[in-house]
């Protein structure tokens, strides 16, 4: 492969190629820097979004914990023996049995002198 042309033409082509290579490497470097800057901005945005999401989740957890404690307290109030006794007496008309409804067992047998009334 022989080069044709005058020495000045050959030098000019070499300079043009060198200039083109310099331009291409400069453009590639700028593109890489721009890509790195965009990636950095994207990562920072994601971190900020995740921070806000974590804050919202933390607030929701705190609120749900308070609600859970309130419901546990309410359930304990509903289970209290005093409340159950009051409901049994007022709503269901329950109370202690009358003396004639009490059957006393001694050693597994009826005690003499007590009568047994049939249950409803």
Q: What is the pLDDT of residue 106?
A: 81
The answer to whether residue 116 sits within a structural domain is no
Question: What is the per-residue pLDDT across 76-108, written as a single tens digit (0 to 9) for each?
Answer: 999 999 999 999 999 999 988 888 888 888 877
pLDDT at residue 27 is higher than 80: yes
On whether residue 1 sits in a domain, the answer given is no
Give the span between the Cα atoms of 97 and 113, in whole angstroms. 18
Point out the least confidently predicted range of 4-8, 46-50, 80-84.
4-8
Residue 106's H or E segment, with its range, is strand 105-106
Give the residue with greater pLDDT, 60 vs 16: 60
The pTM of this model reads 0.50
Whether residue 117 lies inside any domain: the answer is no
Question: What range defines the domain where residue 21 resides?
Answer: 7-110
Q: How many domains does the chain have?
A: 1
């Amino acid at each position: 492969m022989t080069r044709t042309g005058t020495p000045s033409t050959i030098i000019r082509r070499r300079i043009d190629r060198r200039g083109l290579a310099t331009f291409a490497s400069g453009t590639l470097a700028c593109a890489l820097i721009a890509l790195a800057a965009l990636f950095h901005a994207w990562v920072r945005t994601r971190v900020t979004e995740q921070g806000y999401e974590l804050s919202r989740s933390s607030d929701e957890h705190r609120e749900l914990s308070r609600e859970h404690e309130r419901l546990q307290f309410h359930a304990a109030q509903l289970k209290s023996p005093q409340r159950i006794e009051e409901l049994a007496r007022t709503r269901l008309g329950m109370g202690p049995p009358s003396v004639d409804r009490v059957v006393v067992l001694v050693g597994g047998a009826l005690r003499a002198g007590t009568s047994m009334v049939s249950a409803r």
